[in-house]
């Protein structure tokens, strides 16, 4: 039985994702556009890259999401996905987190 080509494609996408994040900081939405994959797949790849680069010097840094209504910053958030609403003012007008490698 031929094996799925997906693992190979995943590696290619993650390599491109790394290259993009070495050049500039990007949000998941921007990465989705650049890579041509859905935003939720971007999060899955980001989590994989975050796991696989921990321990090396090649580390993903997260610019935390911020509430545009009251200025609350989601500093303690470790997951790369965007939060739904602000715990301080309950509004959902949020700047999404941005990512950068290195």
Q: Are 53 and 21 in contact (CB under 8 A)?
A: no
Tell me the three state secondary structure of residue 94: strand
> How many positions of this chain bind Zn ion (CB under 5 A)?
7
In sequence order, what are the residues at sequence separation of 6 or more whose Cβ sits closer than 8 angstroms to the Cβ of residue 102?
21, 22, 57, 58, 59, 61
Given candidates 42, 60, 86, 101, which one binds Zn ion under the rule CB under 5 A?
Answer: 86
Instruction: Tell me how far, at minimum, the Cβ of 20 lies from Zn ion, in Å.
Output: 30
Instruction: Tell me how far, at minimum, the Cβ of 32 lies from Zn ion, in Å.
Output: 25
Site for Zn ion in 7-66 (CB under 5 A): none
Q: Are 99 and 26 in contact (CB under 8 A)?
A: yes
Instruction: Tell me how far, at minimum, the Cβ of 70 lies from Zn ion, in Å.
Output: 3
Given candidates 25, 63, 69, 83, which one binds Zn ion under the rule CB under 5 A?
Answer: 69
Q: Are 28 and 82 in contact (CB under 8 A)?
A: yes
**Residue ranges binding Zn ion (CB under 5 A):** 67, 69-70, 72, 86, 88-89
């Amino acid at each position: 039985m031929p094996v799925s080509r997906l693992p190979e494609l995943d590696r290619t996408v993650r390599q491109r994702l790394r290259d993009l994040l070495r050049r500039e900081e990007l949000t998941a939405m921007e990465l989705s556009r650049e890579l041509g994959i859905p935003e939720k797949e971007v999060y899955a790849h980001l989590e994989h890259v975050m796991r696989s680069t921990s321990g090396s010097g090649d580390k993903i840094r997260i610019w935390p999401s911020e509430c545009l209504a009251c200025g609350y910053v989601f500093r303690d958030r470790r997951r790369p996905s965007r939060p739904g609403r602000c715990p301080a003012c309950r509004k959902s007008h949020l700047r999404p987190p941005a990512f950068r490698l290195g």
